[in-house]
């Protein structure tokens, strides 16, 4: 067995990745060979003696490099979910090679000539809508990435892209190392006062795994969140909060400050090279929002409506903390703790009261039942599919006719080689080639509390909505039904990609949906309807503050990427304080910095795009209003959503697709009403 296993059809069930047979040292030679093979495919397109056509140029280009794409998917997904030092080292070596290969294509004059030739005749080609979109996107991807530049500027672009790919990787590696490095050991049981039994047991088990007595807390979310939410010991909450808030901001080997400044400056330089005022202008040209001005107007419009509510909520929280404990200054490490106590007082609703009704296995089954009722999907757990870790669950997805739809991977628990947070990804896209509809391999990755010796994995309500959110992304990938891989599934405008995920969260609040899965893990008793009413009633609790928080992240993102002179920024912290000045509620913590841990924009793909979470909330609130009117399991509404949104990928302008589903453009009022920020 050698690295060549990565270069052929895998000869496995559904052609899934043979993880157990792939050794780390296979990746580098496989990448090099796959790049060579992909270059040969590009050369064949360029050297074709026939005149350029849509089929021999545009279509051929979209289907080229399939094996390279699969190797990249496998490798980089593992680098997020199951990494190690070897994989990280390979990533540092491979990323510049991939960046260079990408530039070899987009900066290839002969290839661009053929694309230009087809593009210039587009009106006479009688293309269908998807073909027109593909042609437009291919042409733009070349023109927007330097194809029209002079040779010396093309070289500058290559250097910038190589550097950016390495900087983004290092940013993420530093963040993961910081998360793994911090440990808070507790030996006195009195220091655990206020903590739920499940959190204590998990901490004890974690300590035992390190051969230590006592309780161990880390910066992994299932450990961190319960502690800052429930622990009575304010000093320990502070310690944990400061550790979380100072990631990448300690002026040590894992510091991300210079990396942030370098990334921002290089992105700006790249945009200027391509003729755009800022990186945000470059990015937003291919988004629903279109311009930085539109994004800022959108964010500031919602800010104007949310800020009065947020300030009022914050003052109420301060007064409550003062009345309860005589606390005069509410700090960041106090927020979650007193908010939870106030929520319990106002709604008699405690996350710990809800958790027994949200056993992980039941919630997964519930998500599957919702998908079945809406979209006729069936999920069957199978053990014939290779996994990259024993915790991963694997499913075969079929429709009501028994047709194979997708492979689905689910990876739910934290571990050392896995980054924090939750995300959806894919190991293989959907596409139609030679008359065959090749189906996708989709994955969701989360960080939920592991089962303990006495309890299964019980989710907080927030984790339930997270699971449904990522499952919504997964449905977008699974139900894809397009011809071309680059337009398939979640390959849509970035500010449209969150609609399928965020709309799915709505079912978590509905009695009809909760009745499908919210049963007590010990007694089997259905969740009491008074608790369901309280969940709905409390859904807008601190919505003003939550909205302000989301807006602050969007504004911070735009401040980094919509600025015309990033070279003038010398202090990451000072710049951040300025960006937060209009959304600030809590006193600043000198030793903390958000930007140095803002993986979404400096490691992931959200640069100039963080606003899209709020943008998609407008879409999802408006979309779900339609489901509420028709019935949350109404087949006609669900089919319209599947046929016009979930299956269409990026084949048309997203607003066109949305209006075809909804019959109108989305109205922001639906979101503001749902959030309780304007009267219904």
The residue written with tokens 């003003």 in the block is: 544
User: Is the pLDDT assigned to residue 376 strictly greater than 70?
Assistant: yes
Give the C-alpha separation, 519 to 528, whole Å: 9
Summarize pLDDT for 192-233 with one digit per residue, the tens. Answer: 999 999 899 999 999 999 999 999 999 999 999 999 999 999
Give the C-alpha separation, 503 to 616, whole Å: 9
Q: Rounded to the nearest 10 degrees, what angle do helices 572-580 and 543-561 cross at?
A: 130
User: Is the pLDDT assigned to residue 569 strictly greater than 80?
Assistant: yes
Annotation says 470 is catalytic? yes
User: Is the pLDDT assigned to residue 667 strictly greater than 90?
Assistant: no
* Angle ∠(368,371,372) on CA atoms, nearest 5: 85
Averaged pLDDT score across all residues of the chain: 95
User: Is the pLDDT assigned to residue 15 strictly greater than 80?
Assistant: yes
User: Is the pLDDT assigned to residue 17 strictly greater than 80?
Assistant: yes
Average pLDDT over residues 2-23: 93
Give the C-alpha separation, 655 to 671, whole Å: 17
Average pLDDT over residues 598-605: 93
**Position 1 confidence tier, pLDDT thresholds 50, 70, 90:** low
Q: Residue 410: what are its φ and ψ, rounded to 5°? A: -135, 125
pLDDT confidence of residue 621:
93
Summarize pLDDT for 507-561 with one digit per residue, the tens. Answer: 999 999 999 999 999 999 999 988 988 888 898 999 999 999 999 999 999 999 9
CA atoms 630, 634, 636, 640: torsion sign: positive
Summarize pLDDT for 257-292 with one digit per residue, the tens. Answer: 999 999 999 999 999 999 999 999 999 999 999 999
pLDDT confidence of residue 680:
60
Q: Residue 574: what are its φ and ψ, rounded to 5°? A: -60, -40
Q: Which of 313, 463, 470, 625 is catalytic?
A: 470
Give the C-alpha separation, 531 to 354, whole Å: 8
Average pLDDT over residues 152-180: 95
Closest CA to 573 of 592, 545, 554: 592
pLDDT confidence of residue 29:
96
Closest CA to 303 of 644, 664, 546: 546
Q: Where are the beta strands (DSSP E) in 552-678?
A: none
Q: How many CB atoms lie within 10 A of CB 546?
A: 15
Q: Can you give 246-280 as a three-state secondary structure string? A: CCCCCCCCCCCHHHHHHHHHHHHHHHHHCCCCCHH
Average pLDDT over residues 238-244: 98
Contact indicator for 22, 3 with CB cutoff of 8 Å: no
Give the C-alpha separation, 576 to 594, whole Å: 8
In 186-331, where does DSSP find H-type helix?
197-209, 221-230, 234-245, 257-273, 279-284, 292-325
Closest CA to 244 of 221, 261, 216, 260: 221
Summarize pLDDT for 66-102 with one digit per residue, the tens. Answer: 999 999 999 999 999 999 999 999 999 999 999 999 9
Average pLDDT over residues 557-583: 96
pLDDT confidence of residue 93:
96
Task: Indicate the burial class of 568 (C-beta count within 10 angstroms; 0-12, 13-18, 19 or more).
Answer: exposed
Contact indicator for 420, 434 with CB cutoff of 8 Å: no
pTM over 0.75: yes
Q: 341 is written with which tokens?
A: 């106590």
Q: Rounded to the nearest 10 degrees, what angle do helices 129-143 and 109-120 cross at?
A: 140
Q: pLDDT above 90 covers what percent of the chain?
A: 92
Give the C-alpha separation, 234 to 220, whole Å: 19
User: Is the pLDDT assigned to residue 120 strictly greater than 90?
Assistant: yes
Give the C-alpha separation, 358 to 59, whole Å: 47
Q: Residue 542: what are its φ and ψ, rounded to 5°? A: 55, 30
User: Is the pLDDT assigned to residue 46 strictly greater than 70?
Assistant: yes
Give the C-alpha separation, 97 to 525, whole Å: 56
Give the C-alpha separation, 510 to 414, whole Å: 29
Strand partners, 436: 433
Contact indicator for 594, 600 with CB cutoff of 8 Å: no
Q: Residue 290: what are its φ and ψ, rounded to 5°? A: 75, -45
Give the C-alpha separation, 298 to 289, whole Å: 9
Q: 512 is written with which tokens?
A: 């009809």
pLDDT confidence of residue 625:
93
Is 424 strand, coil or helix?
Answer: strand
Strand partners, 408: 395, 442
User: Is the pLDDT assigned to residue 620 strictly greater than 80?
Assistant: yes
User: Is the pLDDT assigned to residue 668 strictly greater than 90?
Assistant: no
User: How do strand 404-411 and strand 441-445 relate by DSSP bridges?
Assistant: parallel
Q: How many CB atoms lie within 10 A of CB 51?
A: 10
Give the C-alpha separation, 476 to 434, whole Å: 23
Average pLDDT over residues 594-614: 95
CA atoms 33, 9, 90, 263: torsion sign: positive
**Position 673 confidence tier, pLDDT thresholds 50, 70, 90:** confident
Q: How many CB atoms lie within 10 A of CB 59?
A: 20
Domains, the chain, ordered by start: 3-106+108-148 (1.20.1050.40), 182-245 (no CATH)
In 126-196, where does DSSP find H-type helix?
129-143, 151-181
Task: Indicate the burial class of 190 (C-beta count within 10 angstroms; 0-12, 13-18, 19 or more).
Answer: exposed
Average pLDDT over residues 395-406: 97
pLDDT confidence of residue 605:
87
């Amino acid at each position: 067995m050698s690295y060549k296993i990565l270069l052929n059809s895998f000869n496995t069930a559904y052609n899934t990745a043979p993880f157990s047979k792939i050794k780390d040292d296979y990746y580098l030679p496989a990448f090099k060979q796959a790049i060579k093979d992909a270059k040969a495919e590009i050369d064949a397109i360029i050297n074709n003696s026939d005149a350029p056509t849509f089929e021999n140029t545009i279509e051929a280009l979209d289907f080229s490099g399939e094996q390279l794409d699969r190797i990249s998917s496998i490798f980089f997904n593992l680098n997020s979910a199951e990494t190690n030092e070897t994989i990280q080292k390979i990533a540092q070596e491979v990323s510049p090679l991939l960046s260079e290969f990408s530039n070899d294509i987009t900066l290839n004059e002969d290839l661009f000539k053929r694309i230009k030739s087809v593009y210039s005749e587009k009106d006479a080609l009688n293309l269908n809508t998807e073909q027109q979109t593909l042609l437009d996107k291919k042409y733009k991807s070349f023109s927007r990435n330097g194809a029209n530049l002079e040779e010396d500027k093309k070289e500058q672009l290559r250097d910038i892209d190589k550097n950016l790919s390495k900087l983004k990787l290092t940013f993420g590696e530093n963040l993961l190392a910081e998360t793994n490095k911090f440990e808070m050991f507790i030996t006195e049981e009195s220091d655990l006062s206020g903590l739920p039994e499940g959190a204590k047991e998990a901490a004890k088990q974690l300590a035992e795994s390190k051969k230590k007595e006592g309780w161990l807390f880390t910066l992994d979310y299932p450990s961190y969140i319960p502690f800052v939410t429930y622990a009575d010991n304010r000093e320990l909450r502070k310690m944990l909060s400061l550790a979380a808030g100072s990631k990448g901001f300690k002026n040590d080997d894992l510091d991300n400050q210079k990396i942030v400044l370098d990334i921002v400056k290089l992105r700006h330089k790249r945009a200027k090279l391509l003729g755009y005022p800022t990186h945000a202008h470059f990015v937003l040209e291919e988004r629903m929002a279109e311009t930085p001005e539109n994004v800022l107007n959108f964010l500031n419009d919602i800010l104007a409506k949310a800020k009065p509510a947020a300030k009022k909520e914050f003052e109420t929280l301060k007064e409550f903390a003062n009345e309860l404990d005589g606390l005069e200054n509410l700090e960041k490490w106090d927020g979650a703790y007193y908010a939870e106590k106030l929520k319990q007082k106002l709604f008699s609703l405690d996350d710990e009261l809800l958790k027994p009704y949200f056993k992980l296995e039941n919630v997964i089954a519930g998500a599957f039942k919702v998908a079945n009722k809406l979209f006729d999907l069936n999920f069957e757990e199978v053990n014939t599919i290779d996994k990259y870790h024993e915790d991963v669950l694997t499913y075969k997805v079929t429709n009501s006719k028994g047709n194979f739809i997708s492979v689905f991977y689910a990876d739910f628990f934290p571990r050392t080689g896995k980054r924090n947070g939750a995300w959806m990804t894919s190991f293989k896209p959907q596409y139609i080639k030679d008359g065959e509809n090749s189906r996708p391999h989709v994955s969701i990755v989360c960080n939920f509390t592991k089962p303990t010796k006495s309890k299964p994995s019980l989710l907080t309500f927030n984790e339930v909505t997270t699971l449904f959110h990522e499952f919504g992304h997964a449905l977008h990938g699974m139900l894809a039904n397009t011809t071309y891989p680059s337009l398939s599934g979640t390959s849509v405008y970035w500010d449209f990609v969150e609609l399928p995920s965020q709309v799915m969260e709505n079912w978590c609040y509905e009695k009809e949906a909760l009745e499908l899965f919210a049963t007590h893990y010990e007694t089997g008793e259905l969740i009491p309807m008074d608790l369901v009413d309280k969940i709905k009633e409390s859904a807008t609790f601190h919505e003003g503050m939550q909205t302000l928080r989301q807006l602050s992240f969007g504004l911070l993102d735009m401040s980094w990427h919509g600025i015309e002179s990033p070279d003038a920024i010398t202090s990451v912290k000072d710049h951040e304080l300025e960006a937060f000045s209009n959304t600030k509620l809590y006193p600043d913590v000198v030793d903390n910095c958000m930007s140095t841990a803002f993986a979404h924009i400096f490691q992931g793909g959200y640069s100039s795009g963080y606003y899209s979470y709020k943008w998609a909330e407008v879409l999802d609130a408006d979309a779900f209003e339609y489901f509420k009117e028709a019935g949350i399991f109404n087949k006609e509404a669900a089919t319209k959503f599947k046929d016009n949104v979930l299956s269409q990928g990026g084949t048309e302008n997203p607003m066109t697709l949305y209006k075809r589903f909804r019959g109108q453009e989305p109205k922001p009022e639906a979101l503001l009403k749902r959030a309780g920020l304007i009267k219904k």
